[in-house]
Structure 1
């Protein structure tokens, strides 16, 4: 018994006084753990996060049916794999590829697709035990292009007092736009307009430039232009400003003798004045507007004539 105690004391003394012995002991323990891990537990699980998801329809039923990927919200997934400890130990998220499985997609709409994960390294083998999320919603549709005439909206452009503007006379160049996007979105478009956001009072004709296009449905509600593209975003808008004046209406008598008293006919007009607008300031010099002429020989007791 005394002999055993001496051996234990000597071993304890060696471990506490010999640094080399301590280092060797730690190394031996690590090597022993590694050997046991490889031999007893050759496979191990590993979880990797933030793996980008791809949606490729090349050669799939979606492509054969003329469909395109419009949108999807799942951009990254987390995957748990299991494989040989020495093979997958150094794998990172950059070594894996996650992709949607595009199968039997033959019509437009939102489809829920499985997500597949593989390794970029062909010599690394593993089993996928879980993918989170395991499926993703992908919107498919056919891409189409259609033409729409453009109107102009300039809600903050006014004419100065005494002058006049007519929204129907606003001119946009180009006046037609090509709109490309998913067919289901294009089906909702009722009209397209170019917006002038300037705030200004005009006393003469003016030209504006704009790049903003708004699409409306039949209920006058704005349509979301996400996933929609236009063939141009450079527009010139010409806004004319008119002088406005009230003019007396007049007419001429043809084939009347000299010094004939026209008032003796007692002809009456149902409209005596007209409002006229013109971009030309020559309107200032005009006080009457002649509606045409009446041959004297046409006038009888029940004479009546309409003028444009």
Structure 2
């Protein structure tokens, strides 16, 4: 007997009942099968899609690819158009969908290049890293040719010549010299162009009159041997211009004189009467330096080696930044010694005077007599000259003061007559002691 109670409505509960799935419906399963077939078809036709065609735009022409074909003949490209092409590629959609311009190389067919000149070459295309399996590539359209100019590329080095035909220099001034920042210039280009060129010039121009030095940037120009200017089409210049420095100086004509060294104290140079082969010189230099000059000292005469009636050939020595315009390098100097005589004397140590000696030192002259001193001057002055009138001066500023014995150079002069001077050089043996 069933012990379970009946439901309140008097019905009995169902036996073995369960929930139904959507996939239990045959129509649903059929629809899913159709959808899967459609997706599979889309994968094949859209992603794999054999026979798909695509276009890659603006692929540049590579003129370096396989260039050994023409460089092995000594040729170089001197001109080539900057060209791009479109590529049409076909294959399965999965493969070509990832391809870009970098996967291909477009280049001219060099096989017909044998010599210089302009060539019209057919363009070829291939995979950048070899063949692409299952992919066909062609140049889109009929624009598949390119013009290339070939020649033997050489170098030529020319000196830079400065021309100043177009300059105006102020009155009283001179263009003394020109300096260029680069003496030589190198050209690189086809031999057909370089063979025409024989000269390179920097033709300096300036808008006003020049009265001072200036540096100007000047373009380079090139000419044939016949003087026709060459305008390059393919040649490259190492420099297209140079800096030209124009040294513009003021001119002056100045009197010349000579100076004397080893002269005695308060020496009267008028006793030396001389004649110069040139009394004045034409010079040039910066305006401020020329304006500061009234005469030119062209050289020196050492009175200690003076010889009567000797003719001196003096190299012209000018102050720095002063330049000689006359075409000479020496001046001849001759003395009129008709009024000069010489006299030889022996001078006692009492004639010695010591100057500028520090007070902490004492100097004793050990030479009792300075022998065979030769003096030169007017004849009348020498006839009455006595040894006591001559001073033998030792100047402590002329040597290193130290205790002990030294041979010290001395200077001779006659205080009473500045027209007398000593010939030769003289030394005294001295002893220096500390106080």
Q: TM-score, normalised by structure 2?
A: 0.43
Map of 1:29-178 to 2, 5 A cutoff? 31-36=40-45, 42-56=50-64, 60-120=68-128, 122=130, 124-125=132-133, 126-131=135-140, 133-153=143-163, 157-161=167-171, 163=173, 170-172=178-180, 174-178=182-186
Which secondary structure state, in structure 2, belongs to the residue aligned with residue 184 of structure 1? helix
What is the aligned residue count?
A: 231
| Structure with the higher fraction of residues in helix conformation | 1
Match of 1:212 among 216, 219, 223: 219
Equivalent pair of 2:107/2:125 in contact (CA under 8 Å): yes
1:64/1:208 Cα in 2 relative to 1: closer, same or farther (>3 Å)? Answer: same
Which secondary structure state, in structure 2, belongs to the residue aligned with residue 70 of structure 1? strand
Equivalent pair of 1:157/1:201 in contact (CA under 8 Å): yes
CA–CA distance in structure 2, aligned partners of residues 98 and 197 of structure 1: 49
Equivalent pair of 1:115/1:131 in contact (CA under 8 Å): no
1:104/1:61 Cα in 2 relative to 1: closer, same or farther (>3 Å)? Answer: farther
Unmatched tracts of structure 1, length 5 or more = 1-23, 246-276, 290-308
Residue 194 of structure 1 pairs with residue 213 of structure 2: no
1:202/1:222 Cα in 2 relative to 1: closer, same or farther (>3 Å)? Answer: same
Equivalent pair of 1:195/1:210 in contact (CA under 8 Å): no
1:212/1:157 Cα in 2 relative to 1: closer, same or farther (>3 Å)? Answer: same
Q: TM-score, normalised by structure 1?
A: 0.58
Unmatched tracts of structure 2, length 5 or more = 1-32, 254-281, 296-325, 327-435
CA–CA distance in structure 1, aligned partners of residues 146 and 157 of structure 2: 34
Q: CA deviation at 1:35?
A: 3.3
| Structure with the higher fraction of residues in strand conformation | 2
Map of 1:176-187 to 2, 5 A cutoff? 176-187=184-195
Structure 1 vs Structure 2 CA RMSD: 4.3
Equivalent pair of 2:221/2:229 in contact (CA under 8 Å): no
1:244/1:101 Cα in 2 relative to 1: closer, same or farther (>3 Å)? Answer: farther
CA–CA distance in structure 2, aligned partners of residues 101 and 123 of structure 1: 17
Larger-Rg structure: 2
CA–CA distance in structure 1, aligned partners of residues 138 and 105 of structure 2: 15
1:234/1:225 Cα in 2 relative to 1: closer, same or farther (>3 Å)? Answer: farther
CA–CA distance in structure 1, aligned partners of residues 245 and 182 of structure 2: 9
Map of 1:2-13 to 2, 5 A cutoff? none
Which secondary structure state, in structure 2, belongs to the residue aligned with residue 62 of structure 1? helix
Map of 1:234-245 to 2, 5 A cutoff? 235-240=243-248, 243=251
1:25/1:237 Cα in 2 relative to 1: closer, same or farther (>3 Å)? Answer: farther
Q: Deviations over 1:113-148 (max 9, x none)?
A: 222222235573322233453121111111212232
1:130/1:54 Cα in 2 relative to 1: closer, same or farther (>3 Å)? Answer: closer
CA–CA distance in structure 2, aligned partners of residues 35 and 58 of structure 1: 39
1:27/1:164 Cα in 2 relative to 1: closer, same or farther (>3 Å)? Answer: farther
1:172/1:186 Cα in 2 relative to 1: closer, same or farther (>3 Å)? Answer: same
Equivalent pair of 2:65/2:107 in contact (CA under 8 Å): no
Equivalent pair of 1:147/1:178 in contact (CA under 8 Å): yes
Match in the other structure for 1:305: none
